[in-house]
Amino acid sequence: MPGELGSLKRATIATRYGLSGERRLSEKADFERLLREGTRQVRSGYTFFVSKRAAGPPRLGMLVTRKHAAKATVRNGIKRCIREAFRLEQAGLGTMDVLVRPPLGVRPGARMLGRVRELFLELGK
């Protein structure tokens, strides 16, 4: 029985704070739709393309290119910070699609994570 309780606890946490496939923008058409029709908001150098949906969880997409960082490890760190900020703040976003483009030269880390969390909080209002 103790194993069942632990797995139930993990399932609850994963459901509440997880970032499953249904919470990610993966189709090229979704990215293009947001770029074309989404509301563009620039905050602290970060560009957000936002679009409300009728139903469903919030979804995240990211635009991080070689212009942001030449090394793939740095680009992946930037994406990891954005993904984590979204994961922690997704409950306050409602039913929307969000496409994030960070400013050029941004460096991944705790400071970036905190700033992006604040920006997601502002988007949810």
Q: Whose CA is closest to 85, among 67, 51, 69, 62?
A: 62
**Least confidently predicted of 22-26, 54-58, 109-113, 118-122:** 22-26
Q: At what angle do helices 72-89 and 110-124 cross, to 10 degrees?
A: 40
Output the pLDDT for position 86: 93
Q: Which residue do the tokens 């993990």 mark? A: 10
* Structure token digits, residue 100: 């994030």
Q: What are the pLDDT digits (tens) for 37-85?
A: 999 999 989 999 999 988 888 999 999 999 998 999 999 999 999 999 9
**Rounded distance, CA 76 to CA 73, Å?**
5
- The full DSSP string for 62-106 is E---TTT-SSHHHHHHHHHHHHHHHHHHGGGT-SEEEEEEPPTT-
* pLDDT band (50, 70, 90) for residue 8: very low
Contact 98, 86 (CB under 8 A): yes
Q: What are the pLDDT digits (tens) for 93-103?
A: 888 999 999 99
- Average pLDDT of the chain is 85
- pLDDT higher than 50, residue 104: yes
- pLDDT higher than 80, residue 4: no
Alpha-carbon torsion angle 73, 14, 96, 122, nearest 10 = -70
Output the pLDDT for position 40: 94
Q: Whose CA is closest to 98, among 22, 47, 64?
A: 47
21-124 CATH, one of 3.40.50.150, 3.30.230.10, 3.20.20.100, 3.40.50.720: 3.30.230.10
Output the pLDDT for position 14: 47
Output the pLDDT for position 71: 94
